[in-house]
Every structure is written in structure tokens, then in C-alpha cells.
Amino acid sequence: MKWGIIELKISLDYAKISGFIETERINSIQEKGYSLHRILQHKTKEECAYLGWLNIPKDISESEIKRIIHVSENIRSQSDHLVVIGIGGSYLGARAAIQMMGGESTNHDLDSGYKSNRVLFAGHNMSSDYFNDLIHQLEGKEVSLNVISKSSTTTEPAIAFRLLKEYMETKYGRQEAARRIYVTTSKDKGALRAMADREGYQSFVIPEDIGGRYSVLTPVGLLPMAVAGINIEQVLEGARAAMEDLSEESLEANHAYQYAAIRNLFYAQGKTTEVLVTYDPRLFYFSEWYKQLFGESEGKDGKGIFPAAMNFTTDLHSLGQYLQDGPRNIFETVLNVEKQDDSIILKATEDDVDGLNYLSGRSLDEINKKAMQAAMDAHVAGGVPNLVINIPDLTPYHMGYLFYFFEKACAMSGLLMGVNPFDQPGVEAYKTNMFRILGKPGYEAT
């Protein structure tokens, strides 16, 4: 295999790691990759039960897609705001998608306006100030809720739903509130499913064979996206393209597997932290989604690459020193959005007081990309290897492709590391302690 770029819908450029990993080392993983690919594609191991996400871009029915679109249109017509209640995978994918498509302000946590409809988020923290700010933002507005939980037992969204359900029933009355509450949960079990059936809430199903952090391409992510005005058919088209491109078992032909292999080779060298770098603030919540995906998938059995994220050039003026001269246990993966607005041009001034006339005639986007090149060159020279994932454009199609790319890469990376990338036993530890401390019945002696 030669160093360079694989030309696919979204391309992986690993040219800047050639001084850190020999080509033969990547090739040496190929045989192990074949066997793990067969585990993923053919579900031959009991520990890989949660593999429904692999085929969901094709398995999701046309009737389900049309129903999601129809319900989203009803929500948009009846409400100014949809409040999505969820935590982790139940909200991060949707939030990342809406921000990527320009639907969430990068300057205000709660202000996520897209056209005339706004998707707000609750249940991902227990801050009373945040909740009060949310209620204030809903004043005088028409509101719908989408509560998302597979287990129905996660404390943060359960509390938020209890509070917002009371708010809705006080505002609209129980019958009208029921018409404005939409549930995304398990098909036939759990408290939320029972409540939806009892109250007559419209509901969508989270497939049993898909875990929360791999659920963005199910109704978990697709309904909020559609309400925000995103074309979910194009999202799924991009995911289907990725599904086809990334079905190859050969490392040389599968750039998601290459990314997974390179991550593991860095890990074997003692590079235990990966920094996902973005130069576009629209990718902030995608970075948050990435952190959950890889953190919950790999961080177990005393193993795991720590997933961090930085937004450049902002963080170059805070953490740049650490990256350049700190411990050499870091590698970077840069998300490069190739197509950007190039209409903002710097003009020359007569006095040139700020000394910027040398940049006259250049676009802000060109300057940003030169800063990216400069940072990568400096970090590589300082001992921090850089991978680059080139994204042609931030469109629904490319977004769907990007989500699937990272899911496939994460699954393979976890298997290469020797962990089960589909469970999260460590998350349950804090929940058990919290239940005990708060006095939940049955947890007194745990």
C-alpha cells in the first residue's frame, strides 16, 4: 500500500504520518482486519449483537422515512419549537447534524434556529439554570416534545420529561399535550413505551439491535433533523454510499478500516490521546458526538484512546502550546471541509496600520486553510502526527456519509483494540452510585 489519499466520497489523507508509522506496519494488520471484518459483516460473535446500524441506511423502510417526514411537517406546522429530550446518543447526533447544516447558532447554546423552526435540547444535563432558560425561551411559543430513550431509566432525560410533560399539560391540557408529545423508544418494553401506549403519544421505534451512540441514522436522529428542515432522504443516500464503499474487507480499499488501523498503531506507540481538530465551528457538536462514540466504545478493560476535540484556530491560542511542546502521547485527526464560502475578501488600506496589506485580495477561507496547513506542518515537525479527513462539502449527503464512516471506523478500531465496542459497562457504575446516594428503592445496599 502506498502513502497518499484514497479518492472516495470523503477521503482519508495519511501522508503526514509516514515519518511515524512504516507502511509495512499498516499492512501487517490486514489479516486480523479480514477476520474482524467477517465478524462485523456476518455477526458471528455473540459480543457483536448490536450491529443493526451496519445496514440501517438500507434496512430503514420507505414507509418509515415517509412517516418521519410527514410527522416532522406536522410538528413544523403546529409548533415554533421542538424540544428534544435525550442524552448521549439520544441527542448528540441530531444536534451535530442540525449545527452542521447551519441550523444551530455557534454562539448561543440554546438558540438553535433553523428557518422558522427551532429545535432545542433538554435532558442532557441537570442544571436548573439551563432548564429555567429553556422554559423562558418557550414562553409565548407553540411547543412540541420529542422524548428519546431506549431504556426509559436514564435519570437526566426522565427528569426533564417529567418536568416538561407537566409544563405541556399545564399549557395545553392533557389531551392537546398528548398530540404534541412524540416518543422514540423501544418497540415493546420499558416505562416510556408503556406511557406512550397509555397516553396515545405518537411513537417511533429504536431498533433493539442498535445501541444509542450508533443510532443517529434511525428515527432518533432523523426526526429532529427533518423538523429542522434537513433532507433526510439525502442523509440516508450519503450513508448508503458509505455503506457500499466501506463494505470492502481489504484495508487498502476501505478508508474507515485504514483510519482504525492507524489509530491502533499509534496507540501501540503510546499515543493514547486523539485530538479531533476542526476549522469550522459548524462541526463543534460533531466533535461532541465523536467523543461519545469513541469514548464509550473503546474506553474499557483498562484500554482506550482518549478522544479529545479542539476548534482551530481558536484553540491554537490556548492549547496550541501544549500540542506543540507537551507530552508526545497525542495524534491529531483534522476534519477539512473543502468547500467554504470564499466571498469575504480582505482589501488593502492606504495606511496599512495593521500590517495586513500583504493579505489583500485573499479570501478569509484561503487564510483559514493556510493556517490549517501551517499548524499541521508545525505539529508534525514537533512530533505530533496528523491524519486528514477531507469532506467535500457540508451537505446532507456528505453528512450521512461522515456519520457512517466514523461508526464503521469506531467498530473496527474497538475490535482491533480487543474490546467490545458496543457495550458501556462503565456508564452504569455512576448510575448505581447516584441511585444509592439519592435513595432509590432497591439500591440502598449497593
Domain count, the chain: 2
Spatial distance between the Cα atoms of 271 and 289, rounded to a whole number of angstroms: 22
Spatial distance between the Cα atoms of 54 and 256, rounded to a whole number of angstroms: 13
| 2 annotated active-site | no
Taking residues 435-446, report their average pLDDT: 68
Kindly name the residue from 24, 317, 347, 350 that is annotated as catalytic: 317
Q: Is residue 156 part of a domain?
A: yes
Kindly name the residue from 104, 274, 288, 296 that is annotated as catalytic: 296
Which domain does 94 fall in, by range?
53-230
Helix (H) or strand (E) holding 184: strand 181-185
- Same domain flag for 63 and 206: yes
Spatial distance between the Cα atoms of 25 and 21, rounded to a whole number of angstroms: 7
| pLDDT tens by residue, 236-274 | 999 999 999 999 888 888 999 999 999 999 999 999 999
Residue 14 predicted with pLDDT over 70? yes
C-alpha cell at 379: 505539529
| pLDDT tens by residue, 318-361 | 999 999 999 999 999 999 999 999 899 999 999 999 999 999 99
CATH of residue 366: 3.40.50.10490
| pLDDT tens by residue, 165-202 | 999 999 999 999 999 999 999 998 888 999 999 999 99
- Same domain flag for 174 and 242: no
Spatial distance between the Cα atoms of 37 and 411, rounded to a whole number of angstroms: 10
Q: Judge whether 207 and 166 are in contact, CB under 8 Å.
A: no
3-state secondary structure of 284: helix
3-state secondary structure of 243: helix
Give 286 or 445, the one with higher predicted confidence. 286
Residue 117 predicted with pLDDT over 70? no
Residue 427 predicted with pLDDT over 90? no
Residue finishing a domain among 204, 230, 256: 230
Q: Judge whether 424 and 296 are in contact, CB under 8 Å.
A: yes
Q: Looking at residue 28, what is its pLDDT? A: 81
- Same domain flag for 308 and 349: yes
* Nearest CA among 232, 238, 211, 274 for reference residue 403: 238
Kindly name the residue from 43, 171, 369, 431 that is annotated as catalytic: 431
Q: Across 2-6, 30-34, 117-121, 300-304, which has the greatest mean pLDDT?
A: 300-304
C-alpha cell at 395: 451537505
Residue finishing a domain among 230, 250, 276: 230
Spatial distance between the Cα atoms of 79 and 232, rounded to a whole number of angstroms: 20
Taking residues 409-437, report their average pLDDT: 82
Residue 132 predicted with pLDDT over 70? yes
- Same domain flag for 170 and 297: no
| pLDDT tens by residue, 378-420 | 999 999 999 999 999 999 999 999 999 999 999 999 999 999 9
Q: Is residue 441 part of a domain?
A: no
Per DSSP, helices labelled H in 82-121 are: 92-100
- Same domain flag for 296 and 376: yes
What percent of the chain stands above pLDDT 70? 91
Going through 268-350 in order, the beta strands assigned E by DSSP cover 273-278, 306-311, 330-337
| 431 annotated active-site | yes
The per-residue b/e assignment along 154-164, b for 16 or more CB within 10 angstroms, e otherwise, is: bebbbebbebb
- Same domain flag for 244 and 220: no
| 398 annotated active-site | no
